[in-house]
Amino acid sequence: MKRGSLIFLRFSIFMIGLLLLICGVFWLPSMASQAAEANPTYAYLALPLLIGIYITAIPFYIALYQAYRLLNFIQEETAFTKVAVEALGRIKKSALTIISIYTIGMLILLQQNALHPGLAIIAAAIIFATVVISLFAAVLQEILERAIHIKTEYDLTV
């Protein structure tokens, strides 16, 4: 992979992480307080929803770090190693964790009869995107494991 592409991808990972950090610290709490003021009936849900979103940030940043590590493996030309397979596995597990948290949160809100349609659409979009990422990571992990196996067999025969 070209050096310029790797720099762009690293910059993109850094910007995504920074943007979500800024949104989580500044924008999200103000939106939660505005929503609580607009709907006093559901104001008690503002803090639990914020905590749930902040909890999902942990596996998200773990996955971002693993993606950054994968880019380092590509640059060092050690992408076909077990460490890269493990990084893809961690990305997959992080995505499954995010899916689980959002699904549980939606079910709790649905049980409380507090699932706003706009919130449901946003949560469903996040779940769908995370499912795609999880499946993509799983496919890449399987392909990489097979490639490593073939490479090992080739190295043994030569």
Per-residue pLDDT at 138 exceeds 90: yes
Q: Is 156 exposed, middle or buried (0-12, 13-18, 19+ CB in 10 A)?
A: exposed
Q: Which among 85, 63, 64, 61 has a CA at the least distance from the CA of 73? A: 85
> Which residue type sits at 114?
A
Residue 73 has pLDDT above 70, yes or no: yes
Give the CA dihedral 19, 23, 25, 26, nearest 10 degrees.
Answer: 120
Residue 1, pLDDT > 80, answer no
d(CA 98, CA 131): 9
The C-alpha atoms of residue 4 and residue 80 are separated, in whole angstroms, by 21
Q: For residue 62, what are the CA distances in angstroms to 17, 19, 57, 86, 126?
A: 11, 16, 9, 13, 17
* pLDDT score recorded for residue 146: 94
130 versus 114: the higher-pLDDT residue is 130
Q: Where are the domains of the chain?
A: 3-157
